[in-house]
Structure 1
Amino acid sequence: MFPLRKAVNILRIPCPNCFHFQRYATRKRFYRNTSIIQNEQNWEVTLDQRRLKTPNGKVLLVSSEPLARAIAAEWDSQKEYIAQPVMHLTALCNTALDNPGKLTSHDITSYLLNYLPTDTLLFHSDEEDELRVLQEQKWGAILDWFQERFNVKQEVSRGLSLPPVSTETRGILARHFLSYKFPALNAICFGAEALKSPILMLACIERRLDPKDAVLLARLEEEYQLIHWGRVPWAHELNQAELTARVAAALLVVQCSVERHSSAVKAPPGEIATQSNY
């Protein structure tokens, strides 16, 4: 499992671009402390004892204590201004609860299946031999894993034409995506869009890659060009850090949605400890 502490640390990295977001902030930080409380089988985040709510006024409820703690850490990391554009965990949970597009799990699954033929990993260079060899080396292992994991065959494109995706592959992936609850599926879509690759996002979920490695693979062609043409000292690193934060947030939501967390409740000596699941 991608460690919670590692994910929270990634999301807490100060962003040099936050000054840009602060210019458009509608409010300064108005709270001193953040915390979480349990609400039956769910968890809430509080700001100075006030319940955090979504843009539509719903109480922000999550089904996992680690996810609630990570959201609280995200709010706690805000400084003078609340930089909402970089608060990816909060945004993902708000979207899942408010569902402004009135989407269903089937809608998101159809979107991901239609996205698959445009997956970055399925397009290999037909003009630069050196780049194509690099793509085959770096992407080949992930494509092999993908085909073995889901028992499918997937072609790659040597140009701009879309590679075919068989009906069988679509069916297998549809069943897999629909096995996730809506908040997790929404996060999968968010991560796949950030990486421009449903395959890389699936590899992260299945613990084949961590977010940093996935972002490097997603940016493989860009990095190849930068080696040859040079880079702006800070801009590319900033973009990489932002993408990594997006993928880490999405992955954390997915893992907290599917993992069962339990804690033993201490009992007096001689009594059997009870088990609580959340």
Structure 2
Amino acid sequence: MKRFYEDVRVVAAGGDNTGFQVTLDDRVIKSPAKQDLILPSKSLALAIADEWQAQGEKIIPASMAMMTLAATAVDRVTPQRRHVIDMIAAYGGTDLICYRVSEPADLVNRQQSRWQPVLDWLASHHGAHLVIADSLMPVAQSEQALAAIRAAVASYSDFELSPLHALTTTAGSVVIALAVLAGHLDGDAAFELSQLDESYQIERWGLDDDAKQRRDGIYNTIDNAAKFVQILRD
């Protein structure tokens, strides 16, 4: 799409709404589903305004990560909040960091030293005690643990659930995602934990171009989601 505006501003939301909106030549921007994009924090509105201002002659939606996550909150989370919560919480039953290898010893030790502290954090912070397995066979988690994870997920706003969903599905771990939302992990740490096994293989066998492109995409998604959370709360 060709750029059709010159002036980008942040304004207070009108009417009975609280929050902020971004305008393009005095016209408020809407979500892709044509919903009013009312942002809960000025810092987020400014970040989205910066993305629009940075566009060149052509608008490239893929370059506007903050806009995408905000629009997802409005278009996809709010209309089906309970379903989104269920989707995120379901990862507790198959969480990446609960599935460990039995060999080689150095990878076993790496998983234990890097993943276990996050599981311990989940137990102390949210009261969810997850069981680990040393094989790919499914392990049953307790109803109490899964209920605690769902309660933790449900405690977040629609604008927080958007990055939480992105983090969970990209990392394959609701535990890692919840740790980011709580400020226990930053984006770099979340990426490293989610790619621990792959990083081990790269150390041994190297990284081809396709794998690097995929890895870069995962990093960008996790990093942008973590940044969104931080900006939202500034």
Are 1:67 and 1:252, in contact at CA under 8 Å, matched by a contact in 2?
no
2:39 counterpart of 1:65: no
Aligned length: 231
How far 1:254 sits from its partner (Å)? 4.1
For 1:169, the aligned partner's letter is A
Are 1:185 and 1:254, in contact at CA under 8 Å, matched by a contact in 2?
no
How far 1:240 sits from its partner (Å)? 4.4
More helix by share: 2
Identify the match of residue 226 of structure 2 among 211, 234, 251. 251
The Cα RMSD (Å) is 2.4
Matched residue, 2:88: 112
Change in Cα spacing, 1:207 to 1:223, as seen in structure 2 (3 Å) is: same
Are 1:119 and 1:197, in contact at CA under 8 Å, matched by a contact in 2?
yes
For 2:45, the aligned partner's letter is A
2:166 counterpart of 1:182: no
Structure-1 separation of matches of 2:48 and 2:219: 17
How far 1:182 sits from its partner (Å)? 2.2
Structure-1 separation of matches of 2:199 and 2:206: 9
How far 1:211 sits from its partner (Å)? 0.2
Q: Deviations over 1:207-252 (max 9, x none)?
A: 111101110111111111111111136962x544433432343334
Matched residue, 1:153: 129
Q: Deviations over 1:41-79 (max 9, x none)?
A: 211112233221112222321111011011112222333
Are 2:92 and 2:146, in contact at CA under 8 Å, matched by a contact in 1?
no
Matched residue, 2:11: 37
TM-score (norm 2): 0.87
Change in Cα spacing, 1:120 to 1:229, as seen in structure 2 (3 Å) is: same
TM-score (norm 1): 0.74
What is the identity percentage for the equivalent residue pairs of Structure 1 and Structure 2? 26
Structure-2 separation of matches of 1:222 and 1:193: 17
For 1:75, the aligned partner's letter is W
Identify the match of residue 168 of structure 1 among 135, 144, 165. 144
Identify the match of residue 209 of structure 1 among 185, 188, 194. 185
Q: 1:208 is paired with a residue of what secondary structure?
A: coil
Structure-1 separation of matches of 2:198 and 2:61: 28
How far 1:168 sits from its partner (Å)? 0.9
Change in Cα spacing, 1:207 to 1:150, as seen in structure 2 (3 Å) is: same
How far 1:158 sits from its partner (Å)? 0.9
Are 1:44 and 1:62, in contact at CA under 8 Å, matched by a contact in 2?
yes
Change in Cα spacing, 1:146 to 1:101, as seen in structure 2 (3 Å) is: closer
How far 1:170 sits from its partner (Å)? 1.7
5 Å matches for 1:1-278?
27-40=1-14, 41-99=18-76, 102-104=79-81, 106-232=82-208, 236=212, 238-255=213-230, 259=233
Are 2:99 and 2:132, in contact at CA under 8 Å, matched by a contact in 1?
yes
Structure-2 separation of matches of 1:256 and 1:116: 27
Pick which of 60-69 and 110-119 moved more: 110-119
Are 2:89 and 2:153, in contact at CA under 8 Å, matched by a contact in 1?
no
